[in-house]
Structures are given as structure tokens and as C-alpha cells.
A = this chain, B = another copy of it.
Amino acid sequence: MVATRWSSGGQAGQPPQQSGSDVTMEFKHQPTVTLAEVAEAAGVGESTVSRVLRNHGSFSAKTRERVMAAVERLGYVPNRIAGTLASTGSRLVAFVIPSLSNIVFPDVLRGASAVLEENRYQAVFSVTDYDPGKEEALAAAMLAWRPAAVMLAGYEHTEGTVKMLRASGCRIVELLDLDGDALDIAVGFSNRAAGRESAAFLLKRGYRRIGYVGHDLNRDTRAGKRFSSFCETLDAHDAPLVAREILPGASSVENGRLGLKRLLARTSDLDAVYFSNDDMALGGYFHCLAEGIAIPSKLAIFGYNGLDIGRAIPQPLSTIRTPRVATGQIAAQLVVANAPPQAVDLGFELIEGATA
């Protein structure tokens, strides 16, 4: 462990010089400028200031300038807490997502936040760790902020969550899954179709002895859907899954590597392996690389997600590219536009890389 040295003025680990009297643990909030004070400073009524700042209703150019000058002079920052309480409908959008480690969700957030920011909406989030109970608790906490919409992953929610969301009257957006009935709005693609197409592709390429390496499917139900459709398709073509290796915990490159190693130790004559996602598949790829297993002649590898890194490895990964950012964008657009209930299928793209 190489410790860093803190290189600015003071001694390492010491607080930097601060403005004097902050010795106590308690931090005093300085009095804030209110709209009423701006109104008085500008010599106009409160509602006039409100109208000018929201650019809503009518006011003269002269008034506008007086108000803006006062705002500037006093350093007024509107209080959206108060504003939201007074008006109907907030501009908060709540995200209740399973994880931030799985790049899928940051990607969705990225797409959504760009659209939301443009429309002066504010994104709020919390992380469930794929735990439906936690999802319920966090969704309840979110509803307390009276958001314009709640965005969740997929269709699997507790009864309590569904009941609560329905009763809330706010928009409900279910993301990244279309295999089921949407509560209100759904944006994504069919995981079952993805599993099916993956299997069909491998079969078409002539692979018959196919294995699977995946992470905890009980938690990640979308991966579970892909897997079951994958197996069904194999069964329908008389090439049932030969072996599987399921690792507990989250997906990761390391788990993919470990999973493939274990799978091959048990079952030597596989000709292709389907992974629960690209992280896992990359782990498998690296295992083959390290062990000198020729890809795809000796063993084919197929992933899911279409991460950028999959295209940069020596042999581009065969996988399915999912529209993660677009899912976030479309979801946000529908919320902003207050669109009617609907399910939007964004599809996916099968990438015929060099690993299968």
C-alpha cells in the first residue's frame, strides 16, 4: 500500500484552514433570501416576482429588469421545495434501480438524466441490490417526495409495491423488460426474445453441445428470463443444454472466468457457452485466452449487452446489443410529455462477433 501525501498547504490529514469559528460540530444554516425579500427590494409584489422568475403570466419588460436586478443583487435562489408544495405536480423523477455496479443502470440513468435536465426535471435515485423487499421500502420512501414518476427495473415487484405505486397516482415506468403486463409505461425490449435469438444463432452456427455460465438468477430476473427462453429454444431443436454453472452474487468478469473454469472442469466436450451477460462472457474469454483454448473453433462464447469493451478485444465478442441509453431517454421523454400508458419496444441487435 502506497499512501498518498496530501500536498496542499497544511499537514497531511489535517483539515485545511477554514473561515474561523467552525469549531463546533453543529453547522449553522445562514438565513436564506426569500421571494418576499426580493419583492420588497424590487418594489413589486410577490406574485410578480414569481411570474417573472417562472416566465409565466404577463409582466412588463421594465418590471422584469427590476426583478432580475434584485435577484442578482441579493443572490436569490428560489426554493423548489416550497414551490413544489404550493403548485400541483413536482418535477422530480424517482429511480429505484437494482444496482450501480452493473453498467446497465448507469447507462439508463445517463440517457434519462440528459432528457430530464433539458426539461428542468430532477432525478432522484436509490439502489435495491436486487432485493424486492428493499425495493418496496425504497419505493415507499420515494413516493414521499411526490415524484412525477417512479422508474423501476422490470416487472417483478412485490404485491405491496404494486399496490402502493398504483395508489400513488404518479406515473410508473418499468424499464428493460417487456415480458409481462406493464403497470403504466414500459420501455425496453424482450429478454425472452433475446434468449431465444441467442440460442437460435448458436444453433444456426452448428453448435450442439451448449453450456451456460450465469450469476444469481433469482435476483436478476431478467437474466433468468433470458436463460429460460434460451433453454426452451435449445430443447425445441433437440439440443438441450448440456451443463450449467451458476455463481452466487453479482455478475463480474472474475465470476465469468471462474464459472467457465468450473464448467469446463466438469464437462469437457462443450462446443459453445452462453453467458448471462458480457461481463461474465469476457471472463470466459479471458479464461480461454489464458488456457490457450481456441475461440471459436474449440469453444464458442456468446454474451449479452453489447458493451463497448466487447468490440475492443482481439476477437470481437458475439453478443446482443441492448439499447440501454435509449431506454432511459425514451422513458424520460414519455414522462416529460405525460404520454398515455404504453409499452415501447426498442428491440435489440445481435452482433455476430468473432467468438461464436
User: How many copies of this chain does the complex contain?
Assistant: 2
Could you mark each residue 280-300 of chain A with 1 if its beta carbon is under 8 Å from any beta carbon of chain B, else 0?
001100100110000000000
Kindly state whether residue A270 has any CB partner on chain B within 8 Å: no
Residues of B within 8 A of A179 (CB): 7-8
Query: Are B311 and A290 in contact (CB-based, < 8 A)?
Result: no
Could you mark each residue 83-119 of chain A with 1 if its beta carbon is under 8 Å from any beta carbon of chain B, else 0?
1110011100000000011010111011001100100
Could you mark each residue 287-319 of chain A with 1 if its beta carbon is under 8 Å from any beta carbon of chain B, else 0?
001100000000000000000110111100000
Query: Are A347 and B140 in contact (CB-based, < 8 A)?
Result: no
Q: List which A1-59 residues lie within 8 A (CB) of chain B.
A: 1-9, 12-18, 22-30, 32
Select which of B18, B81, B168, B314 is within 8 A of A81 by beta carbon.
Answer: B81
Tell me, in angstroms, the Cα distance from A4 to B57 when the chains sit together: 46
Tell me, in angstroms, the Cα distance from A75 to B171 when the chains sit together: 18
Kindly state whether residue A269 has any CB partner on chain B within 8 Å: no
Select which of B77, B113, B192 is within 8 A of A144 by beta carbon.
Answer: B77
Report the interface size for chain A: residues with CB under 8 A from the other chain.
Answer: 112
A-to-B contact residues, CB < 8 Å? 1-9, 12-18, 22-30, 32, 75, 77-85, 88-90, 100-101, 103, 105-107, 109-110, 113-114, 117, 120, 122-127, 138, 140-141, 143-146, 164, 167-171, 178-182, 184, 186, 189-190, 192-194, 197, 252-254, 256-257, 279, 282-283, 286, 289-290, 308-309, 311-314, 337-343, 345, 347-350
